[in-house]
């Protein structure tokens, strides 16, 4: 016998409870909320999730999440094309955009080098970054990776790969606490750490 | 400009953050989780929500959530058709089923009388309950409403409506703490409160 006297409800609760941080009780609360509200709400939710999952892509230039082949930041003529900010994750792009202190372009690595998690340099878009320094008129590369051992390792690896790059390579200031990831840093600290970036060597 | 460099992602985050207890940051985490996982996961989630929202109905007999006109509890020949447990909400049916101390049928009111929230007796399935006492061979009605003022008021209102009912009317024992709702009571306390039910007058 179904736990909820309804297989339909049970299936919905099962699907919802597969989401991170959502247990059975929360999933049931969410499902009953949808049942109480206008069917349109459920339709919009289902539709937006399906459209997102099937149509989202990575920007061919910066590897950020995008609806188009080239993302809205890369194709914005008002952005400074001579400065490139290297981040681990698309959430870090959001965090830096929120500080409103940076007007250059980005390069999203897709993670940091981590032998423990089995992430090697070849799993990240480091080669594409080196390629960009050859093909684009980049004068400064700002490394904005997490202030962790993995982030430092990745900084160092990238710095060595950029040996032919004639421009400046800088890292964001260690205003952000060591061990913290960029996502949860407050905007003022993160903004200042971009302004106080130091030369990498 | 889109906050997330992707309208598709923004729409998904907006829809998810309309769910109760889900803020923008949690919604983003859920959306990125779906993007990282197999597309099948998103499809199953969307599909199960749509199917639930469009096809679920209330059991014509007990008003519990059901996939069919008569729910699986009402149509189960092994349940005791002479005993009826009156609850406010379908979550209370789940809570009582989990105690494994009750084998009768249910009647889901759809809430309790609450002038503050504008819920009058006519918004609840009380009339249908009275109708059932006429048409079915019910010998005992157990009132299992929340131990709140609204629950007590509803108990009293139902008791008066049942003046022509020849069987026994009981309320679950006040083993459950006053002011608490049934949903979060531990199974032993709730089970005992059903066993120790007292005559209502």
Residue of B nearest to A69 (CA): B6
So what's the pLDDT on residue A195?
79
Chain B nearest-CA residue for A22: B30
**Run of H or E including A170:** strand A168-171
Map residue B172 onto helix, strand or coil.
coil
Q: Is A199 left (phi over 0), alpha (psi -120 to 50) or beta?
A: beta
Q: A83 — phi, psi (to 5°)?
A: -120, 135
Q: What is the gyration radius of the CA atoms in chain B, in angstroms? A: 21
Q: Is residue A58 within 8 angstroms of chain B, CB to CB?
A: no
Residue A188 pLDDT greater than 80, yes or no: no
Determine contact: B34 vs chain A, CB below 8 A. yes
Residues within 8 A of B (CB atoms), A 160-199 only: none
Q: Please state which CATH number belongs to domain B75-199.
A: 3.40.1360.10
- How close A194 gets to chain B, by Cα (Å)? 20
Sequence-ordered alpha helix ranges (H) in chain B? 7-16, 24-36, 39-55, 90-99, 126-135, 149-161, 187-195
Which one is the CATH code of B7-55: 3.40.50.1820, 2.60.120.640, 3.30.565.10, 1.10.8.420?
1.10.8.420
Instruction: Give the whole-number percent of chain B exceeding pLDDT 90.
Output: 64
In chain B, domain spans: 7-55, 75-199
Q: What are phi and psi of B87, to 5 degrees?
A: -125, 165
- Average confidence score pLDDT of chain B: 89
| pLDDT band per the 50, 70, 90 thresholds, residue B2 | very low
List pLDDT tens digits, range B138-181: 999 999 998 888 998 999 999 999 999 989 999 887 766 667 77
CA angle (B165, B168, B174) in 5-degree steps: 125
| Rounded mean pLDDT, B57-81 | 92
Q: Which of the four pLDDT bands, split at 50, 70 and 90, describes residue A178?
A: low
Q: Residue with structure tokens 């009293």? A: B156
pLDDT higher than 80, residue A84: yes
Q: Hey, are the CB atoms on A67 and B7 less than 8 Å from each other?
A: yes
Mean pLDDT, rounded, for A38-51: 94
Who among A21, A49, A66 is closest to B6 (CB)?
A66
pLDDT at A2: 47
Let me know if the fold of A7-55 is the same as that of A75-199.
Answer: no
Chain A nearest CA to B45, separation (Å): 5
Specify which residues A198 forms β-bridges with: A171
Using the Cβ of A26 and the Cβ atoms of chain B, whether some distance falls under 8 Å is answered with yes
The predicted structure's pLDDT at residue A1: 40
């Amino acid at each position: 016998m179904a736990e909820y006297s309804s297989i339909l409800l049970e299936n919905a609760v099962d699907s919802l409870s597969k989401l991170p941080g959502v247990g059975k009780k929360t999933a049931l609360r969410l499902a009953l909320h949808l049942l109480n509200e206008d069917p349109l709400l459920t339709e919009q939710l289902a539709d937006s999730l399906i459209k997102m999952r099937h149509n989202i892509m990575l920007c061919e230039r910066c590897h950020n999440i995008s609806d188009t082949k080239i993302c809205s930041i890369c194709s914005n003529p008002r952005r400074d094309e001579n400065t490139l900010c290297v981040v681990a994750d698309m959430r870090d792009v959001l965090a830096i955009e929120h500080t409103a202190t940076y007007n250059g372009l980005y390069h999203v690595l897709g993670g940091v080098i981590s032998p423990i998690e089995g992430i090697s340099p070849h799993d990240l878009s480091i080669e594409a970054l080196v390629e960009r320094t050859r093909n684009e008129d980049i004068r400064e590369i700002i490394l904005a990776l997490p202030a962790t051992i993995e982030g430092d390792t990745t900084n160092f690896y990238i710095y060595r790969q950029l040996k032919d790059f004639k421009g400046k390579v800088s890292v964001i200031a260690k205003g952000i606490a060591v061990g913290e990831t960029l996502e949860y840093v407050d905007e003022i600290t993160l903004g200042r750490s971009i302004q106080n970036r130091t030369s990498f060597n």
